[in-house]
Amino acid sequence: MSEQLFTPGKKALLLSDFMISLMDGKVSREQVIAIQGKLAGSTPKDFISAVDHLVQQRPVTFEMKKAVNKMLNVFYTYLSTLEQPIPKAGSFFDQMVKDNQEIVRVVGSFKPAIKEIQKADEPPEKLIEKISTTLAELAKVDNHYQVTENVLFSFLEKQWPDHRCLQVLWSVHDDARNEIGELQQMIKEKPWDLKRFNRLTGDLFFDLKTIIFREEKILLPAIVDAGLSVDLDALMPEVGEIGWSFIKSKPQKENAVNQKINMGEGFVNFATGQLSFEQIELIFNHLPVDITFVDENDTVRYFSTPKKRTFTRTNSVIGRKVQNCHPPESVWMVEKILEAFKKGEQDDASFWIPFKDQFVLIQYFAVRDLNANYMGTIEVTQDVKEIRNLKGERRLLNWEKETG
């Protein structure tokens, strides 16, 4: 269902055409008034379908995000006055809204420091420390976005044929992440760049606000109206695995990733030995790497659960198209790798990046059968920070961790 091309209704088509006009040139005040009149009585689902239709026609770019923002600004008052569903206590949306309230609180606590910094040519160290502490707190929004990308988005891709609108929201998530990271870096630099600081904080606050607006005024009502909120609440164990940014998830009886599947007492015969189902699972989960397998149809079929993961995975990813597991700006690279693997032009691809406190090696390997037919792709992710720091040699047993 999620891969069908979706044909939107009349109102959604009008909205989509309006956004294309915004991307391609100026729109007159008369046109804005006219579109507001034509779209009286529109539902949040109309806006979802409109953005989906736009993404079907064009790639997600800065210009597209700007056009979507302008379109939502035109209908901001209308969407704000629509009747808002009241989430059940402890439900997915109840927790999402409460976490959003905390995000707003942290942003509010940031604003006095911003006003104070406008008065100083070179801000004092105490003020820099205050801003640094608040930015570290605000960086926790990544958890909120991880929950929506890995649980909510996975869920909606399987329910809505017009799910491509989520690509735009994911891209705004990445904008907010990047703005926080850039602010954290720039406050350490001298000379102080007040103009850049003001631009970044302005962009960040706008992005945080627009994400909350889209979650609460568009996604939430549309999901409730479609009768899907109960199904979404069934995924709360997966929310607990990631955790919201500022509120505690309701305790769950079972951890979704670690639920034991009864595989029986059977054994698998390999060319080089025999292993039980349990042994196979334990081996995968004890390797010091994250493993994800994508089949020949680009569908995620398996991921390992080592003690320490680099990137978030929840059971909702199983059955998801791998293209939907990546931000829209990097999907082209995923497509390029898969295409080269399927054509037999390449067998592997490697990337390495600093990530949080790790230095991560990401490798992709084409999986082929004995006749060289493409059967899928394995993604292997490993923190190689300690490996990169190895020097000399060690020939004797030493249980102590290296320091320094």
Query: Would 346 be classed as within a structural domain?
Result: yes
305 shares its domain with 334: yes
275 shares its domain with 147: no
- CA dihedral sign, ordered 356, 146, 290, 254: positive
Amino acid (1-letter code) at residue 383:
D
**According to the model, what pLDDT value does residue 311 have?**
87
CA distance 247 to 259: 24
161 shares its domain with 188: yes
Query: Would 39 be classed as within a structural domain?
Result: yes
- The H or E element containing residue 383 is strand 374-383
Range of the domain at 331: 267-388
**Other C-beta atoms within 10 Å of 130: how many?**
18
24 shares its domain with 118: no
Query: Would 207 be classed as within a structural domain?
Result: yes
Tell me the pLDDT of the chain (404 aa) as tens digits: 334 556 778 999 999 999 999 998 888 999 999 999 999 899 999 999 999 999 999 999 999 999 999 999 999 999 999 988 998 999 999 999 999 999 999 999 999 988 888 887 788 888 889 999 999 999 999 999 999 999 999 999 999 999 999 999 999 999 999 999 999 999 888 888 899 999 999 999 999 999 999 999 999 999 999 999 889 999 999 999 899 999 987 555 444 455 555 555 688 999 899 999 889 999 999 999 999 999 999 999 999 999 888 888 888 899 999 999 888 888 999 999 999 999 999 999 999 999 888 999 999 999 999 999 999 999 999 999 999 999 998 888 888 765 54
**According to the model, what pLDDT value does residue 313 have?**
87
Total tally of structural domains belonging to the chain = 3
Phi/psi of residue 303, nearest 5 degrees: -145, 150
Count Cβ atoms within 10 A of the Cβ of residue 39 and give its class: 0-12 exposed, 13-18 middle, 19 or more buried: buried
Q: In sequence order, which residues have a C-beta less than 8 Å from that of residue 119 and are 6 or more positions away?
A: none
- The H or E element containing residue 275 is strand 273-276
Residue finishing a domain among 81, 103, 120: 81
CA distance 90 to 68: 31
The enclosing domain of 375 has a CATH number of 3.30.450.20
The enclosing domain of 99 has a CATH number of 1.20.120.520
Query: Would 113 be classed as within a structural domain?
Result: yes
71 shares its domain with 210: no
CA distance 114 to 332: 38
- The H or E element containing residue 351 is strand 348-355
Least Cα distance to 300 among 322, 326, 285, 327 occurs for: 322
190 shares its domain with 128: yes
Amino acid (1-letter code) at residue 384:
V
**Other C-beta atoms within 10 Å of 64: how many?**
23
118 shares its domain with 222: yes
**According to the model, what pLDDT value does residue 259 have?**
54
186 shares its domain with 125: yes
Query: Would 394 be classed as within a structural domain?
Result: no
Query: Would 254 be classed as within a structural domain?
Result: no
159 shares its domain with 63: no
CA distance 148 to 100: 12
What order do you get walking across the sheet with 290-295 strand by strand? 300-303, 290-295, 374-383, 358-368, 348-355
Query: Would 174 be classed as within a structural domain?
Result: yes
187 shares its domain with 307: no
Tokens matching residue 98: 């409460």
pTM of the predicted model, to two decimals?
A: 0.84
Query: Would 253 be classed as within a structural domain?
Result: no
Tokens matching residue 229: 């909120």
Residue finishing a domain among 175, 207, 242: 242
Residue finishing a domain among 183, 209, 242: 242
357 shares its domain with 238: no
339 shares its domain with 278: yes
In Å, how far from its chain's centre is CA 125? 34
